[in-house]
Amino acid sequence: MSLVARYLERNGIPTVVMGAAKDIVEYTGVPRFLFSDFPLGNSCGKPHEPDTQAFTLDLALKVFESAVGPRTTVQSPLRWTEDGDWKNDYNNIARMPPEEVAKRRAEFDKVKQVALNQRKQAGVA
């Protein structure tokens, strides 16, 4: 997404990137970046919390309007958890109960089978 934002900017379309992978997004040099210190895939706010999502979108629009120069990064004040321990737990297979690992593996295998079937139907497999 960061490279798309740079392409759009180069062609006169201003952008703001909302992201959670600060090191990667900043490395690519996007013009405006709203960083949320949330797990990957959740940069727009917490799931099922429209208030945090609306806050994040409003903040992104403010970054869009007020960025003082290229490579402007603003960090959202929202926190996933107060203590930040989610960073040690989030998708850490070593800290998951075996039942959760088995459940996720079964879900992944199901999605993988759907993709394989679609490839076969398209004659790509």
Regarding whether 59 and 24 lie in a shared domain, the answer is yes
For residue 50, give its domain range. 2-81
Regarding whether 47 and 21 lie in a shared domain, the answer is yes
Lowest-pLDDT range, 29-33, 71-75, 81-85? 81-85
* Model pLDDT, residue 1: 86
First to last CA, the chain: 28
* Model pLDDT, residue 90: 72
Regarding whether 76 and 29 lie in a shared domain, the answer is yes
- Residue 125: which pLDDT band, with cuts at 50, 70 and 90? low
Regarding whether 7 and 62 lie in a shared domain, the answer is yes
Mean pLDDT of the chain: 90
Question: How many domains does the chain divide into?
Answer: 2
Q: Is the pTM of this model over 0.75?
A: no
User: Could you read off the pLDDT of 18-39 as tens digits, one per residue?
Assistant: 999 899 999 988 999 999 999 8
Regarding whether 77 and 97 lie in a shared domain, the answer is no
Regarding whether 116 and 68 lie in a shared domain, the answer is no
Regarding whether 73 and 18 lie in a shared domain, the answer is yes
Regarding whether 67 and 102 lie in a shared domain, the answer is no
DSSP string, 9-49: HHTT----EEES-HHHHHHHT-SEEEE--S-TT-TT--TT-
